[in-house]
Amino acid sequence: MTYRIPAMSSAALGLTVALLSGCATTSGVVVNPAVAKATYQSAFVIVHGGNSSDMDAKVQKELLRHGLGVSVGQEGGDSGNAQLVVRYADDWKWDVAMYLRSFDVMVFDAHSKLLLATGSWKNSAVHLFYSADKVVANVVDQTFDKLAH
């Protein structure tokens, strides 16, 4: 017995697959392979201030949750005795409400300035309104899980 899919059904199936593939967010972590895993105790966060002060606070909170002592300052500021320097980039767009389009975190050795790891998250083209708290928590978790011990 042979089954034939009507033309309308296959067109609907194709459209559904295309739309769902546009709904996928992406995330990932890359760790510098030349760096041995280590235990870190302190981080200096490069803060953005202004409209990003809430994201500054989210990054700091997640680093504290990972047991790091956190100090903050502007780009080029003195990182003191911190072992790590953490930079982040957030990109927001408007569509009925503001939504997080992407979030990246970069972790550097404070003394050698070597990039140790980078974590990223990208919303899909057909975006959803993800919680910035959860996105930051997931990216920091994934990055430090691969970087530490």
Domains of the chain: 25-147 (3.30.160.670)
Q: How far apart are CA 18 and CA 16, in angstroms?
A: 5
Q: β-strand 84-95 against 42-46: which pairing, if any?
A: parallel
Rounded to 5°, angle at Cα 88 from 82 and 80: 15
Q: What percent of the chain has pLDDT over 70?
A: 84
State residue 148's pLDDT score.
79
Q: Name the band, by pLDDT with cuts 50, 70 and 90, for residue 85.
A: very high
Q: What is the pLDDT of residues 100-131, one digit of tens each?
A: 999 999 999 999 999 999 999 999 777 778 78
Q: How far apart are CA 106 and CA 116, in angstroms?
A: 8
State residue 44's pLDDT score.
97
State residue 25's pLDDT score.
82
DSSP state of 73: E
Q: What is the pLDDT of residues 64-80, one digit of tens each?
A: 999 999 999 999 888 99
Whole-prediction pTM value?
Answer: 0.81
Q: How far apart are CA 114 and CA 137, in angstroms?
A: 23
Beta strands in the chain (DSSP E): 26-31, 42-46, 69-73, 84-95, 97-109, 115-122
| Arithmetic mean of pLDDT, 21-40 | 83
Six-digit token string for 139: 């990216």
Residues in CB range of 73: below 8 A, 6 or more apart: 44, 45, 46, 47, 79
Q: How far apart are CA 29 and CA 43, in angstroms?
A: 18
Residue with tokens 């990223």: 120
